[in-house]
Structure 1
């Protein structure tokens, strides 16, 4: 239970710090850059997943024929 409390305190502190940093021009630029990189990473993972899924479907269809 003590570890859960520390986790919640850490999450809360992180939100407060992020909010304070986001008030500055440099902080907004940092979070905008971070958001862009996270979106690009998510799209790359999604594209890779869909490509691999298509490869596996082709392999299954080829083996069934």
Structure 2
């Protein structure tokens, strides 16, 4: 609990110090520079995130297409096998009835 109190005291002190610095023209300039750097950093991080998200979306789409193709091929092979087995069964039945 004591650590939490010191933490909150530090945050409040930081806000008071920033407010006092903002009143001074030099301090205002420093805070504006810090704000510009933070904004630039967050913009770069956001751009990088969106770029990675687009790359992953493309990979997911490629995997989805490959899986759909594999399922389609497996379905076609299974259909051919079933057809050949049915033909073989019909031929065997015809030989037995002859």
TM superposition score normalised by structure 2: 0.63
TM superposition score normalised by structure 1: 0.92
Q: Distance in 2 between matches of 1:64 and 1:15?
A: 51
Structure index of larger Rg: 2
Structure 2 runs not aligned, ≥5 long: 66-98
Q: CA deviation at 1:22?
A: 1.0
Q: Distance in 1 between matches of 2:64 and 2:9?
A: 55
Q: Distance in 2 between matches of 1:56 and 1:13?
A: 43
Matches within 5 A, 1:9-48: 9-48=9-48
**Superposition misfits of 4+ residues, deviation over 3 angstroms:** none
Structure 1 runs not aligned, ≥5 long: none
Q: Distance in 2 between matches of 1:51 and 1:6?
A: 40
- Structure number with the bigger relative contact order (C-alpha 8 A, sep ≥ 6) is 1
Q: Distance in 2 between matches of 1:43 and 1:24?
A: 28
Say whether 1:2 aligns with 2:28. Answer: no
Count of matched residue pairs: 65
What value does the CA root-mean-square deviation take over the aligned residues?
Answer: 0.8
Q: CA deviation at 1:19?
A: 1.1
